[in-house]
Amino acid sequence: MNETIPNDTSRSAPHVAVFSFPSSSHPMSLLMLVRRLTAAAPEVMFSFFDTAKSNGQTFKNIDKDLENLKVYDVDDGLPENYVLTGKWGEEIELFMAATPFNFKKSLEVAEVERGRKITCVLSDAFLWFSGEMAVEIGVPWLAVYFSGAFALTTHIYTDLIRSTIGVDPNAIAGREDETLEFIQGMSSVRIRDLQDGIIVGNLESAFNRMLHRMGQMLPRATAVVINTFEESNPTIIEDLNSKFQKCLSIAPFTSLTYPPPSDSDTTGCLSWLDKQKPSSVVYISFGTVGALPAHELEALAEGLEGSGTPFLWSLNDKLREQLPVSFLNRTREWGLIVPWAPQFPILQHRAVGVFMTHCGWNSILECILAGVPVIGRPIFAEQHLNGRFISDVWGTGIRIDGGVFTKGGVIKGLELILFNEEGKKMMEKVQAFKELAEKAIETDGSSTRNFKTLLQIVSTT
């Protein structure tokens, strides 16, 4: 595969292959990590591999060919003239069917084109086959997991969970509140909190088989990089350290390392917040992938109006059209709805007192960094796990009553966090977490030390 590489000193320089998973926030999160590595190791060459569609979105406002970073497209697995049906997971299934051959083909192109052998594979942990490819070419495999340590734990222990609890829906029925006492650090987690694909759902879908295989493969990685900081879950991190060759928790880094440009507030959110009282506003966002059902959108709107709480709501135009016109008219004096919002600067603003969220991991990290308590309404994936840790382990927020929005539940939640003594305690706890996160990225902090270890591995030829 490397016969045509020029015979010069560049052959011995580090060349890292970066494999991205083309879904949700994964590519951008991986790019943020790679940009930090490129800045710290300008002598290392990075080649970034993803589908053309995903690369187009990820690098929309970023130069694809930085000095030591070049972008390559891999086959997305869609047959020529194929028309997508809109079925959930369809593109992922086609993409996974094309792996690993699509990556191998593009890897050959990059190695020849750039004149350097691959010396390390840095991949999204979802792409478990990257480990086998790394073994084939005799280089380290670094797997990056972008959610929390407790979500990763469920994948590492999937086989144990299945053998202990079972996968028969009839056998599980009525046991949803049983806890995972048999896994270190997971005694507060209940069966109902587990992601689809662990013991319920279509265990044989391409996506769920991928995650199952990931959990089996990660102990073989040279290092597993986790988007968390050690102090957030020391018991779980201790257990993962016993499972992996190296367990490197390196968060928080994305929001602090690459803050949005000063002109990113195109919808006027920050200037609107400037006019509000300290800790009075609820910021609302449920991410870009999942969506609330119409009846919950209506209940949330009714609760916001009934509470009289100033609100800033990031909601796309299609969903905004589902809100009653009367609600929009009656709340325009103390509420602002925008199609997009610069989330981290908003959470950092003194006017924001609580974040109403789907409990996506990036959002949870930003809450911690900003020191803002949470009202959680998980929608899918590991969000239920995240919500459980927020409410029952960390005490930095609550989950909405019954798991769905009602007018009364919204009013009750806002009252509790913004005005009650219990809410003050949650604020104190999240502020304490913020201090731990800030210490983790200090010069001698745990995340800084772990990043240096990661940097050393990618810089070694």
CA separation for the pair 97, 78 (Å, rounded): 10
The structure tokens 């969903």 sit at 319
Positive or negative: CA dihedral 255, 229, 92, 136: positive
**Rounded CA Rg of the chain:** 23
Tokens of 131: 């480990």
Closest CA to 147 of 211, 226, 210: 226
The Cα 102–Cα 337 span in angstroms is 42
Cα 401 from chain centre: 25
Contact (CB, 8 A) for 387 and 376: yes
Domain 269-439 sits in CATH at: 3.40.50.2000
Q: Which residues pair with 226 in a beta bridge?
A: 145, 249
- Which token pair is 364? 């949870």
Annotated catalytic residue, options 50, 124, 239, 265: 124
pLDDT at 263: 55
pLDDT the model gives residue 253: 59
Closest CA to 154 of 203, 111, 189, 178: 189
C-alpha 121/C-alpha 328 separation (Å) is 50
Residue ranges with strand state E in 108-163? 120-124, 141-145
User: Could you tell me the sign of the dihedral formed by the alpha carbons of 184, 189, 195, 201, in that order?
Assistant: positive
DSSP 369-416: HHT--EEE---STTHHHHHHIIIIII-SEEEPGGGS--HHHHHHHHHH
Backbone angles phi, psi at 189, to 5 degrees: -80, 135
Active site residue 384: no
Can you tell me the distance from the alpha carbon of 315 to that of 301, in angstroms, rounded to the nearest whole number? Answer: 12
- Residue 86 CA to chain centroid, in angstroms? 23
**Cis peptide upstream of residue 6 (ω within 30 degrees of 0):** no
Task: Report which of 434, 435, 359 is spatially closest to residue 399, judged by C-alpha positions.
Answer: 359
Please tell me the distance from the alpha carbon of residue 151 to that of residue 130, in angstroms, as a whole number. Answer: 21
pTM over the 0.85 mark = yes
The domain spans of the chain are 9-253+444-458, 269-439
In CATH terms, are 9-253+444-458 and 269-439 the same topology? yes
Q: Name the token pair of 400.
A: 């909405």
Please report which residue ranges of 139-231 form alpha helices under DSSP H. Answer: 149-156, 158-165, 169-172, 206-217
Neighbours of 318 (CB within 10 A): 9
**Residues 6+ positions from 156 with CB-CB distance below 8 Å:** 215, 218, 219, 240, 243
Tell me the C-alpha distance between 374 and 380, whole Å: 17
- Rounded Cα gap, residues 393 and 312, in angstroms: 28
Walk along the chain (461 residues) and give the pLDDT tens digit of each residue.
Answer: 333 334 344 567 899 999 999 998 899 999 999 999 999 999 999 999 999 999 999 998 787 667 799 999 999 999 988 888 888 788 999 999 999 999 999 999 999 999 999 999 999 999 999 999 999 999 999 999 999 999 999 999 999 999 999 998 887 889 999 999 999 999 999 999 999 999 999 999 999 999 999 999 999 999 999 999 999 999 999 999 999 999 999 987 555 554 555 556 788 999 999 999 999 999 999 977 668 899 999 999 999 999 999 999 999 998 998 898 899 999 999 999 999 999 999 999 999 999 999 999 999 999 999 999 999 999 988 999 999 999 999 999 999 988 999 999 999 999 999 999 999 999 999 999 999 999 999 999 999 999 999 999 999 97
**SS3 of 130, please?**
helix
The sheet carrying 352-357 orders its strands as 335-338, 311-314, 281-285, 352-357, 374-376, 397-399
**What CATH number has the domain spanning 9-253+444-458?**
3.40.50.2000
Residue of 71, 53, 73, 72 whose CA lies nearest to 62: 71
pLDDT at residue 9, as a whole number: 42
- DSSP label at 309? -
> CA-to-CA distance for 55 and 446, rounded, in angstroms?
32
Establish how many alpha carbons lie within 13 A of residue 167's alpha carbon, considering only the half-sphere containing its beta carbon.
16
Is there a contact between 161 and 179 (Cβ–Cβ < 8 Å)?
no
Q: What is the pLDDT of residue 2?
A: 39
Among candidate residues 15, 26, 358, 384, the one labeled active-site is 26
DSSP-derived 3-state class of residue 227: coil
- In a 3-state reduction of DSSP, which class is residue 336? strand
295 in active site: no
